[in-house]
């Protein structure tokens, strides 16, 4: 049976070059980077090279990159760190209704601990309104955290414009760029970003490794207390192989950024066009153009999303309804709710995300499978009326 993976936003396979870069550091080159003898120094050198590779992908200085266990940890560190460090200045945080749970649940935790959080609305495409944003700023606002590109609907926010406002007002600006990384040209200095979360496994690197960019002017409390690793900010022996894999993945992402964006955008548009042509009553969720190259989020009216997913799974196709974290429950995703999709449509929505290993033939097979399933389930729906 054919296998088609269309869930690149949930995770990506590790590229061969990435694995090859990692392998020696499991065996021959296993030294602890904190050790002063040759074996340690070699691990240290490889680790510092990776730090530079990650920094280069976002236009940062390598001294501003701190490795973490992934996007979730980076979000936690950034938001809790800024909040607790600036408590004497204020207790107000601005974010959006369409953040990843790593951010939303961290904000809820802060609300339980005396902070006030404004969750900005978004329009039907998933974008915040810059005037609403400026109006939400208070004298007590200490942090703005806005997702760079949404993981469910792919909408890309006006990050540079947000950064101009926060810089002018002297407010710290964090962005969760886990989905944007390697898919959008990011420059932290041009975009006035103070803190930025990254994760390796969304850019063809290994799982369990990520980083937080911290602008050198931002004071952020240390996250883990212990040894002197990560300039004493995040103690614990480094995930050396993971870091090396992340570095290599970042290097590859930088080298092929424009080619990758073009290729994946073409695949995305090909799929959208083909589905729209062959299946009726399908709508695309999210922004028509300001969206992640590989993101397709669609509502198939009159067919339950979970039914589609199960059927696709039986036919070797992996896709997702909403975000992976909520796929075990039947609640409508908070993101689809925020863009005003009615409940029944939200429950009929599927996220397909394409990537570097997707082919047009894969997509043709998925479209054919979708035609069969929508026909089959719509024919037994009391509400569906076939057109023509």
What residues act catalytically?
325
**Which residue stretch of 30-38, 171-179, 251-259, 260-268 sits at the interface with ligand PLP (rule: CB under 6 A)?**
171-179
Token reading at 110: 């802060």
> What single-letter DSSP state applies at residue 190?
T
Decide whether 120 or 373 has the Cβ nearer to ligand PLP. Answer: 120
Q: Which of 79, 104, 178, 354 binds ligand PLP (CB under 6 A)?
A: 178
Q: Is residue 179 a contact residue for ligand PLP (CB under 6 A)?
A: yes
Judge contact between 176 and 155, C-beta under 8 A. Answer: no
**Cα distance between residue 252 and residue 273, in whole Å:** 29
Residues 222-241 within binding reach of ligand PLP (CB under 6 A): none
Asked if residue 154 binds ligand PLP (CB under 6 A), the reply is no
Q: Does 301 bind ligand PLP (CB under 6 A)?
A: no
Alpha carbon distance 155, 289 (integer Å): 9
Q: Which of 65, 68, 90 is nearest to 77 (CA)?
A: 68
Binding track, positions 82-101, relative to ligand PLP; x by CB under 6 A: ------------------x-
**Residue in 70, 206, 245, 294 binding ligand PLP, rule: CB under 6 A:** 70
Decide: is 176 part of the binding site for ligand PLP (CB under 6 A). Answer: yes
Q: What is the DSSP code (8-state) at residue 33? A: T
Contacting range for ligand PLP; rule: CB under 6 A; set: 70-78, 111-119, 301-309, 374-382? 70-78
Q: Please identify, using beta-carbon distances, which residue of 110 and 370 lies nearer to ligand PLP.
A: 110
- Selected from 43, 53, 72, 91, the binder of ligand PLP by CB under 6 A is 72
Region near ligand PLP per CB under 6 A, out of 55-63, 108-116, 174-182, 264-272: 174-182
Q: Is 126 in the site for ligand PLP (CB under 6 A)?
A: no
Nearest one of 232, 160, 239 to 199, comparing CA atoms: 239
**DSSP characters over 141-178:** EEEEE--SB-TTT-BBP-HHHHHHHHHHHT-EEEEE-T
Those residues with Cβ within 8 angstroms of residue 211's Cβ, 6 or more apart along the chain or in another chain: 54, 65, 66, 67, 68, 74, 197, 198, 246
Distance CA 160, CA 248 (A): 27
Report the residue number whose CB is nearest to ligand PLP: 71
Our CA angle for 192, 339, 352, nearest 5°, is: 85
Question: Which of residues 31, 126, 163, 210 is near ligand PLP by CB under 6 A?
Answer: 210
Q: How far apart are CA 202 and CA 199, in angstroms?
A: 6
| 199 touching ligand PLP, by CB under 6 A | yes
Q: State the minimum distance, in angstroms, from the CB of residue 176 to ligand PLP.
A: 5
CB of 326 to ligand PLP, least distance (A): 13
- To ligand PLP, the closest distance from the beta carbon of 292 in angstroms equals 10
Question: What does the DSSP assignment read for 265-315?
Answer: HHHHHHHHHHHHHHSSSEEEES-SSSB-TTEEEEEETTS-HHHHHHHHHHT
Using CB under 6 A as the binding rule, whether residue 71 contacts ligand PLP is answered as yes
Structure tokens of 13? 């396979």
* Residues within the interface to ligand PLP (CB under 6 A): 70-72, 100, 102, 147, 151, 176, 178-179, 199, 201-202, 210
């Amino acid at each position: 049976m054919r296998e088609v993976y269309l869930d690149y936003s949930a995770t990506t396979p590790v590229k061969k070059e990435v694995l090859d870069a990692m392998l020696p550091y499991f065996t021959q080159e296993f030294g602890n980077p904190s050790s002063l003898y040759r074996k340690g120094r070699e691990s240290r050198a490889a680790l510092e090279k990776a730090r530079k590779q990650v920094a280069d992908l976002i236009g940062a200085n390598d001294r501003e990159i701190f490795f973490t266990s992934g996007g979730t940890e980076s979000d936690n560190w950034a938001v809790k760190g800024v909040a607790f460090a600036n408590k004497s200045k204020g207790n107000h945080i601005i974010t959006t209704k369409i953040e990843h749970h790593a951010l939303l649940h961290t904000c809820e935790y802060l609300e339980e601990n005396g902070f006030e959080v404004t969750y900005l609305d978004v329009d039907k495409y998933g974008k915040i309104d810059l005037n609403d944003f400026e109006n939400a700023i208070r004298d007590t606002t200490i942090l703005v955290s806005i997702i760079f590109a949404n993981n469910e609907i792919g909408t890309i926010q006006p990050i540079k414009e947000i950064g101009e406002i926060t810089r002018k007002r002297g407010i710290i600006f964090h962005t969760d760029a886990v989905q944007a990384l390697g898919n959008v040209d990011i420059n932290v200095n041009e975009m006035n970003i103070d803190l930025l979360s990254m994760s390796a496994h969304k850019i063809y690197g290994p799982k369990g490794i990520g980083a937080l960019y911290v602008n050198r002017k931002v004071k952020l409390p240390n996250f883990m207390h212990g040894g002197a690793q990560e300039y004493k900010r995040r103690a614990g022996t480094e995930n050396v192989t993971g870091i090396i894999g992340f570095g290599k993945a970042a290097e590859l992402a930088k080298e092929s950024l424009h080619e990758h964006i073009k290729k994946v955008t073409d695949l995305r548009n090909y799929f959208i066009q083909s589905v729209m042509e062959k299946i009726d009553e399908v709508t695309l969720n999210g922004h028509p153009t300001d969206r992640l190259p590989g993101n397709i989020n669609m509502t198939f009216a009159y067919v339950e999303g979970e039914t589609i997913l199960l059927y696709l799974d039986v036919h070797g196709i992996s896709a997702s309804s909403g975000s992976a974290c909520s796929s075990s429950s039947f609640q409508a995703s908070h993101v689809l709710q925020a863009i005003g999709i009615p409940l029944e449509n939200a429950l009929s929505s599927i996220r397909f995300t394409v990537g570097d290993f997707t082919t047009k033939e894969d997509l043709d097979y998925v479209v054919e499978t979708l035609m069969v399933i929508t026909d089959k389930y719509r024919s037994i729906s009391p509400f569906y009326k076939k057109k023509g």
